[in-house]
Chain A
Amino acid sequence: MAADKTGADILIEALTDLGVEVVFGYPGGAVLPIYDALFKQTKIRHILVRQEGGAAHAAEGYARATGKPGVVLVTSGPGATNAVTGIADALMDSIPMVVITGQVGTPLIGTDAFQECDTIGITRHCTKHNYLVKDPAKLGAVIHEAFYIATSGRPGPVVIDLPKDVQVATAAYRKPAGPGAVAAQHKSYRPQVKADTALIETAVEMLAAAERPVLYTGGGIINAGPAASQMLRELQRISGAPVTSTLMGLGAFPASHPAWLGMLGMHGTYEANHAMNQADLIVALGARFDDRVTGRLDAFAPNARKIHIDIDRSSINKIVRVDVGIVGDVGRAMDDMVRVWKGRAHQAADLSTWFARIDEWRGKKSLAYPESKAAIMPQHAIRRLWEATRHLKPIVSTEVGQHQMWAAQHFDFEGPNKWLTSGGLGTMGYGLPAAIGAQIGHPDALVIDIAGEASIQMNIQELATATQYRLPVKVFILNNEYMGMVRQWQDLTYAGRHSHSYSEALPDFVKLAEAYGWKGMRIEDPDALDGGIAEMLAHDGPVMVDCRVAKLANCFPMIPSGAAHTDMLLYESEVVGEMTDEAKALV
């Protein structure tokens, strides 16, 4: 038995044992013992953010870019509540994260003490699990268990609420016996990793027999690790099936591949949505049939048989009834499918008729946009940014809104862990701290936050974090002075009544950047776009670019709410004025 240590020391030692290299946090009264323990060691690096929400998103960006769990340390009360948005975001997007929150001392719990809040109660609905540790002797085991839960099965955020007296009380710390020891000890939590063999065999036969198959891929493939992305390529190679992806799944399959259909769903490509609609078999791989993907449910892939592989049993049949539901790690399940396929010596079916139809849909060129010499088209700006940086394999984060969808449409990803975006919760303010987290995890990578002028202001204070740690993050703002996606919906649904979607009193982003020690730039002229991007990339340090784009450009293609996949709007001229109440409810 190890000698007694304080709770704070146990925490640091357990984090070290777990291989944690970075903690994103903000100190406060209720976590001072832990900050003191951090001060006295050198193995764990602490990144001081400027607001606790930034810490949570930075941890998400770090996790998404590195595949390792993100770790957050915040004080009690307002520190913990500020982190809640990032915790909820991580739950929706299945991001492995462990959040350590300070709590008032156990004798004070329930007395409305200074900076007390019911962190466990508040985070119960937005965590995979949470703990209030009252006994220092249990602290070590709880920390190891929290990491196991956050990173296994469907990943997600876990909160450990740690009262101040537990941080200073002493207890013994025992390291788990070895890998797998924590899992073996846990009595109730047993994620099913290995898929049912008989169901895998059924899935293989269905895929081999399909005439119009589509592989519908999601963020689960990226969560399953880089090997899963490789296995997706192999599954596609042997089956010949076309591949589409959710917003979260971008990068799992290379965008340059001839079988790539582009993203599907509300702002997906014409070919992806029509292929889904006309498919006779859909294989959903680590994707969850989100409402932004399915559109009107009764018109979603009406003639397709559906196979769904997901590590989360509750995702299967939640939205769409499937013919074969397979619970398991999607990487391993694809591995099993490939093995069964090869074992039965299946040949890839002749899908030339299917691809001929897909090519007709591709002929619509649904991502085309009007060109302009007078103003920078936002789509063009992203396309040029991609062309200027593709050889550098950049990591791209986004905020939320039109710029996010344009980035998803026009920035092509060839590999996983390069695309960081808030898909499920749709959190404005995610991109800058996520980029900071990614840059911490990959100091030598080019990290770009594609932002909107409204979103960037939601966590603008994190510019200082990048300055402090000399992170050469690039923020590329597509500035149209509107909350563009809100305005687009108002155009589409509310007859153009732009209720509070115009940002008056925008800051001078160049001066703002300079005030924080960044290089600030403005690009206004289409002819200056390429030069501006080159100047941004050439600067060895953080740069914020205020790229002034066409103010009223909208994001197409688009499936309006309540419509079927086949009823896509491709052009501005198709925008209708006012929608039914049913359609408004689905916005």
Chain B
Amino acid sequence: MQIKTQASERHTLSVTVENEPGILARIAGLFSARGYNIESLTVADVTEDATISRITIVTSGPPAVIEQIIAQLDRLVPVHRVVDLTELGPHVARELALVKVKGTGEKRIEAMRLAEVYRARVVDATTASFVFEVTGGPEKIDKFLELMREVGLVEVARTGVAAIARGADPI
């Protein structure tokens, strides 16, 4: 028999949680136990109140699943608030990547030139390699990596997305 799949859309959620042990496992566990997708998950203390952390989750699924993800997250006891930034309106999403590129001669010059176009900063260099630091939307970083692959990409570390709504008001 065939397993049915539905058209899915990508949403960025901002989740404020009580800063207590195990909360990350609880949230990640909710996704795995119920079969939801996690594309990226980042967490840090961001408020004046050290007892609260902000988690940014990029997830995808059909609209009904996204609605369930929000409701299920909201029901967790340590969760203060779940905001669907994608539904809320325009928002800024950024991540940081450290990109190691190996190469000499022409390849090396090409790597530097591309890095400049993408405003990537060199944070380490040897005669045969660079480590670039690049920030931006996930698509920009994807594109940068795609180009670097041709030049000599050997390793990547990415943070996952941090996102915030545009405008003056907090969520």
Contacts and interface: CB of A to CB of B under 8 A. Distances in A.
Interface of A: 120-121, 124-125, 128-129, 132, 149, 187-189, 312-314, 316-318, 321, 580-582, 585
Nearest to B49: A187
A313 B71 contact: yes
A314 B36 CA distance: 14
Contacts of A132: 21-22
B95 interface: no
A291 to B, nearest CB: 15
A542 to B, nearest CB: 40
A125 B26 CA distance: 8
Given A132-B21, A313-B74, A317-B67, A125 B29 contact: yes
Nearest to B17: A188
A316 B26 CA distance: 22
Contacts of B33: 125
22 contacts: A121-B25, A124-B22, A124-B25, A124-B26, A128-B77, A129-B76, A129-B78, A132-B22, A187-B51, A188-B17, A188-B77, A188-B78, A189-B77, A189-B78, A312-B75, A313-B74, A314-B71, A314-B75, A317-B67, A318-B71, A321-B64, A585-B1
Contacts of A128: 77
Size class of the B contact interface (CB-based, 8 Å): 20 to 34
Nearest to B21: A132
Interface string B66-109: 01100110111111100000000000000000000000000000
Nearest to A321: B64
Contacts of A314: 68, 71-72, 74-75
Contacts of B17: 188
A271 to B, nearest CB: 31
Nearest to A582: B1
Nearest to B80: A188
A582 B2 CA distance: 8
B117 to A, nearest CB: 45
Given A129-B77, A188-B78, 9 more contacts: A125-B29, A187-B18, A188-B17, A189-B78, A314-B68, A314-B74, A316-B71, A317-B67, A318-B68
Contacts of A317: 64, 67-68, 71
Interface in B18-35: 18, 21-22, 25-26, 29, 33
Contacts of A188: 17-18, 77-80
A314 B82 CA distance: 13
Interface of B: 1, 17-18, 21-22, 25-26, 29, 33, 51, 64, 67-68, 71-72, 74-80
A321 B65 CA distance: 12
A526 B28 CA distance: 57
Q: Report, nearest first, the 10 A-B pairs whose CB atoms are least far apart.
A: A314-B71, A581-B1, A129-B77, A188-B80, A189-B77, A314-B72, A313-B71, A314-B75, A125-B33, A582-B1
B165 to A, nearest CB: 21
A580 B1 CA distance: 9
Nearest to B3: A585
A120 B21 CA distance: 10
For A132, A149, A188, A317, which residue has the most chain B Cβ atoms within 10 angstroms?
Answer: A188
Contacts of B71: 313-314, 316-318
A312 B72 CA distance: 9
Contacts of B21: 132
Nearest to B20: A131
A188 B51 CA distance: 11
B170 to A, nearest CB: 17
Contacts of A120: 22
A441 to B, nearest CB: 27
Nearest to A188: B80
A321 B68 CA distance: 12
A316 B71 CA distance: 9
Contacts of A125: 29, 33
Contacts of A585: 1
Given A188-B17, A188-B18, A317-B68, A124 B77 contact: no
Given A188-B18, A189-B77, A124 B64 contact: no
A157 B105 CA distance: 65
For B26, B33, B77, B79, which residue has the most chain A Cβ atoms within 10 angstroms?
Answer: B77
Contact of B80 (A187, A316, A582): A187
A534 to B, nearest CB: 49
Nearest to B52: A187
A417 to B, nearest CB: 26
A581 B22 CA distance: 40
Nearest to A583: B1
A318 B22 CA distance: 26
A124 B80 contact: no
B8 to A, nearest CB: 17
